[in-house]
């Protein structure tokens, strides 16, 4: 049977994602794409196998892998043991990325110091811009001048309390496509961690806000993974709504992520209790990734039906995996992508939702907007 061939234009159309013929030719030079046969007119001829290869290249590139590493990764013949040289190179790339993030964080902090000024500090903002224009930082002594400049400007902060709402308005991206309830939630999360970029990592399922408001109004059960989160919840407001709070791993000695993970694995009773939670409960997970993974498993098996799962455990392998798993379920969720999270952010999430429910019980903005 004759193989169906594609031209370079048909290849790029099949892959999509902004791939151009020029990029394909460059990938051939780098060895990312193998040599392919040519037509009588000297045009490259591609197959579906080339389409899949280029799709893999683009997917890995989008994840941040360097092109040289992508080639080694795709050409590796070992499926059982990782290439030690490649692992070393990926480790080096990781540390390089962390250094870039650190530099970008320093840049963001400097910009926040200028743009995040509230109204009483706007004269200081203008003064800072004027002085930065005149600053001579060619020598090390000049860098000291920069430090003194910030110290002088910071002195203005002792004259009045900070207006957080005004500062956030200057720094946050456009949130007009979110509902009023969701915007309040995002504001509270940013204020809890001090990182404006967090808003880009927060993920809410369609209907999550409506589901949790209905559950809270009905006096649902709130279940946390560890006592630290239970202590951070707004017990007074929850009691006003008639909601009870229970702790899954009810061990007061658990104060860290590793302890929560170990406890959950050490005693099967926690899994059994999780399996028996009432329908319509609100789950708040901020420590143990394995708890969230088990929740996802029980949801998929139709053994539990929570009104909302707030999944924000910390971790560098299991936690991101658990959050990705949560986002594939058909159950309402709120999560933070990647390794970011923690008990405080999980508790702040529920507290913000409870606050807006009590203060604005008749608000229905979330029903028509994300």
Q: Let me know whether 52 and 92 are in one domain.
A: no
Confidence of residue 370 (pLDDT cuts 50, 70, 90): very low
Run of H or E residues at 134: helix 122-134
SS3 247: strand
Radius of gyration of the chain (CA): 26
pTM exceeding 0.85: no
317 secondary structure, DSSP code: S
Instruction: Identify the pLDDT of residue 282.
Output: 98
Q: Let me know whether 215 and 302 are in one domain.
A: yes
Phi, psi angle pair for 355, to nearest 5°: -60, -50
Q: Let me know whether 271 and 356 are in one domain.
A: yes
311, pLDDT greater than 80: yes
Q: Tell me the mean pLDDT in the region 298-302.
A: 96
Give the closest residue to 344 by CA, choosing from 316, 313, 315. Answer: 313
pLDDT tens track for 253-295: 888 889 999 999 998 898 899 999 999 999 999 999 999 999 9
Q: What is the CATH number of the domain that holds 332?
A: 3.40.50.10230
Crossing angle for the helix pair 208-217 and 180-193, nearest 10 degrees? 90
Q: Where do we find the tokens 């070992």?
A: 78
218, pLDDT greater than 90: yes
Q: How many structural domains compose the chain?
A: 3
- Residue 228: give the domain boundaries: 172-367
Q: Let me know whether 190 and 315 are in one domain.
A: yes
Which of 161, 190, 224 terminates a domain? The answer is 161
Euclidean distance between CA atoms 59 and 15, whole angstroms: 10
Euclidean distance between CA atoms 149 and 34, whole angstroms: 56
Instruction: Mark 293-326 as b/e (b = at least 16 C-beta within 10 Å).
Output: bbbbbbbeeeebebbbbbbbbbbeebbbebbebb
Give the closest residue to 283 by CA, choosing from 356, 228, 229. Answer: 229
Q: Let me know whether 57 and 120 are in one domain.
A: no
Choose the weakest-confidence range: 20-34, 105-119, 175-189, 314-328. 105-119
Q: Let me know whether 286 and 222 are in one domain.
A: yes
Q: Let me know whether 153 and 184 are in one domain.
A: no
82, pLDDT greater than 80: no
pLDDT tens track for 228-259: 999 999 999 999 999 999 999 998 888 888 99
pLDDT tens track for 194-210: 899 999 999 999 999 99
Euclidean distance between CA atoms 284 and 1, whole angstroms: 57
Instruction: Identify the pLDDT of residue 219.
Output: 97
Strands 202-204 and 333-336: antiparallel
Contact 326, 309 (CB under 8 A): yes
Choose the weakest-confidence range: 75-84, 189-198, 331-340, 352-361. 75-84
Alpha carbon distance, N-terminus to C-terminus of the chain: 51
140, pLDDT greater than 60: no
């Amino acid at each position: 049977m004759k193989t169906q061939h594609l031209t370079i234009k048909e290849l790029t159309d099949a892959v999509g994602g902004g791939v151009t013929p020029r990029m394909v030719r460059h990938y051939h030079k780098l060895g990312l794409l193998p040599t392919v046969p040519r037509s009588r007119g000297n045009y490259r001829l591609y197959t579906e196998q080339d389409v899949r290869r280029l799709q893999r290249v683009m997917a890995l590139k989008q994840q941040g892998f360097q092109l040289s590493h992508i080639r080694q990764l795709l050409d590796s013949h070992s499926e059982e043991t990782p290439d030690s040289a490649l692992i070393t190179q990926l480790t080096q790339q990781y540390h390089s990325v962390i250094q870039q993030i650190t530099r970008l964080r320093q840049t963001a902090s400097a910009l926040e110091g200028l743009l995040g000024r509230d109204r009483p500090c706007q004269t200081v903002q203008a003064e800072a811009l004027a002085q930065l224009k005149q600053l001579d930082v060619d020598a090390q002594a000049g860098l000291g001048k920069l430090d003194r400049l910030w110290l002088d400007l910071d002195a203005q902060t002792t004259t009045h309390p900070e207006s957080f709402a005004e500062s956030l308005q200057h720094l946050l991206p456009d949130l007009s496509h979110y509902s009023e309830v969701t915007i309040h939630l995002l504001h509270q999360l940013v204020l809890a961690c001090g990182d404006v970029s967090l808003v880009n990592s927060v993920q809410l399922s369609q209907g999550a806000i409506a589901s949790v408001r209905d559950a809270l109004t009905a006096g649902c059960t709130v279940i946390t993974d560890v006592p630290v989160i239970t202590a951070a919840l707004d017990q007074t407001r929850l009691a006003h709504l008639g909601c009870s709070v229970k702790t899954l791993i009810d061990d007061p000695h658990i104060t860290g992520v590793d302890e929560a993970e170990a406890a959950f694995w050490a005693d099967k009773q926690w899994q059994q209790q999780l399996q028996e939670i009432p329908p319509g409960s609100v789950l708040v997970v901020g420590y143990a990734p394995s708890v969230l993974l088990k929740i996802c498993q029980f949801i998929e098996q139709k053994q539990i039906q929570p009104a909302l799962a707030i999944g924000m455990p910390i971790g560098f392998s299991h936690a991101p995996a658990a959050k990705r798993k949560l986002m594939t379920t058909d159950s309402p969720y709120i999560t933070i992508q990647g390794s970011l999270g923690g008990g405080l952010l999980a508790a702040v999430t529920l507290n913000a939702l409870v606050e807006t429910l009590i203060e604005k019980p008749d608000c229905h903005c979330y029903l028509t907007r994300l």
